[in-house]
Structure formats: C-alpha cells, structure tokens
Amino acid sequence: MQAPQQFPGWRPAGPLPQTGPPPVAVPQPPHYPPPGRPPYGRNMVSLRGWPSFPEQLPEFDPAAAPDTPEELFLAWLTEAGEHVLAPHAVTLSTVDEDGAPDARVVILKDVGAPGWAVATSSDSPKGQQLQANPRAALTFFWPGRGRQVRVRGTVAPAAPEVSAADFLARPPASRAEAYLGHQSEILDDPARLPEAAAAAERWVAENPDTAPETWTRYLVRPDSVEFWQAAHDRRHLRLRYRRDGATWVRERLWP
C-alpha cells in the first residue's frame, strides 16, 4: 500500500519515541460544568481566562477627591483620553413604554452645572423614551484604565437654540445622517439607503445653517455619580457622590 502524502505537521499514528526529558505536566482547567450540573456556559472556562485590566492600574485616593463629581470626572476623562479610544463614548440607558430597559452607546457632548449632555432626535426611540420617562443612566467604562463611572438622574431638553448649535457643530456627514430619519425602523429595501443618504447630503449642502426642529440636546441632571477603580486584589475602590440639596455628599461603598 502506498504511504500517504506527508503534509507539514503530519506524523504517523501512535506514540512517538522518547528523545528528551519527560514532559512537564500542565495543570488542566477543572471540568466545566461540574458533574451533575447542566451544560450551560460550557465556554466560560476560556472566557474567564481573558485579562480584564492591564497590569498597571492608575492610583485613586477617594479621600483626596474634589467636592464635585464633575471635577473628578473631567480629570478621569482627560486621563483616559491619553490611553483609550473614544473616552467620551457613553452607554445611555432608558426604559421603554413597557418599563423594559434599553441601552445604546452615544457621545458625551458636555459636562457642567446644567447637566451631562447627550444629543439625539426627539423622534428617535431614545428621544421618545426620554420624553415619556425623563430619567436615565449614563455608564462610562475604560477597561484600559480599570475605571467606570455611573451617572443616574433626571433628564430635560436644553433650550432650542442650544440644541440647534449642537447640531450645526456636527460634521456634514453626521448632519446628513440625522436628516435620514427612520432611525431603528425596518429597512425593507437596502437600495433605498444610498438614495436617501444622497438626498440628505444635498439638503445639508444647500442649507448649511439649518437644524431640524427635532434635534435635541438632553441634559442629565445627576442624583448620584459613582466612580469605580479596579484593583487586582478585587478590593475595588468605589466612591459615590450623592446629591443633597445644593451640595454633594461623598460616600465610600463596599466593593
């Protein structure tokens, strides 16, 4: 019988002769799931092996935190911007008409005394949800720095002229995208998208100083802002600012 063609990495079946020191026993991961448990999450062994944070984490002394959360947040945001992409990306969480949670990533526009600003069209799903239930949560996560910031509060639209200025400050492509409309609706015919995009781009070029009435900057006025700093020993540092009238109360939280 003709021998099979030997491709790279091919070897005959059976044990190879021992030519060196005995191999070192490598510990194997425990059986998952444990005997008697249903086979849910069978890939969790490999998932748990992925690193969560870098070896070097920034220092954080909650006792030295400033009086307001905005000041600490801007310091963390600036520091994150030196290490990660899109540090101003934030998960905006709302609830729909049935009370079911909804979340999406948007861009933080500003932070100040009036509130933490994000923007969208008032007729978008998130705009409609904020109108029906004007409460929201913002979540920033910078895994490259082992840091998270959570904001919870009430939401109100900014003045129309502020929303218009926000829209006109967007790049032309972003303004054209806003004029497309139909956000999150079913796209039955993908061929309609380039046609609608071209029409929106022409509109923006012909009307460079016009903002849609539906474009809205929303201001999240925090009731609480929590800062979370990871620690490799799992004794994570958590500092919460809680609004108390016109001032902020700082509270350390258990990990």
- For β-strands 215-229 and 135-142, DSSP reports them as unpaired
pLDDT at 6: 38
Amino acid identity of residue 30, one-letter, is P
The number of beta carbons lying within 10 Å of the beta carbon of residue 92 is 24
Residue 240 contacts residue 254 (beta carbons within 8 Å): no
How much is the average pLDDT of 125-151?
98
Residue 102 contacts residue 93 (beta carbons within 8 Å): yes
The larger pLDDT score, comparing residue 79 to residue 43, is at: 79
For the chain, what are the domain ranges? 65-160+216-253
Query: Is residue 8 scored above 80 in pLDDT?
Result: no
Q: pLDDT by residue (tens digit) across 199-250?
A: 999 999 999 999 999 999 999 999 999 999 999 999 999 999 999 999 999 9
- Element (DSSP H or E) covering residue 102: strand 101-107
The larger pLDDT score, comparing residue 251 to residue 37, is at: 251
Q: Omega into 87 within 30° of 0, i.e. cis?
A: no
Determine the topology of domain 65-160+216-253 in CATH. Pnp Oxidase; Chain A (2.30.110)
- Per-residue confidence band for 126, with pLDDT thresholds at 50, 70 and 90: very high
Bridge partners, residue 241, by sequence: 225, 250
- Per-residue confidence band for 51, with pLDDT thresholds at 50, 70 and 90: confident
CA 134 vs. chain centroid, Å, equals 21
CA 83 vs. chain centroid, Å, equals 16
pLDDT at 73: 98
Residue with tokens 């109100």: 156
Amino acid identity of residue 70, one-letter, is E
Query: Is residue 12 scored above 50 in pLDDT?
Result: no
SS3 category, 62:
helix
pLDDT at 40: 56
SS3 category, 132:
helix
Question: Does the global pTM surpass 0.85?
Answer: no
Q: pLDDT by residue (tens digit) across 167-199?
A: 999 999 999 999 988 889 999 999 999 999 999
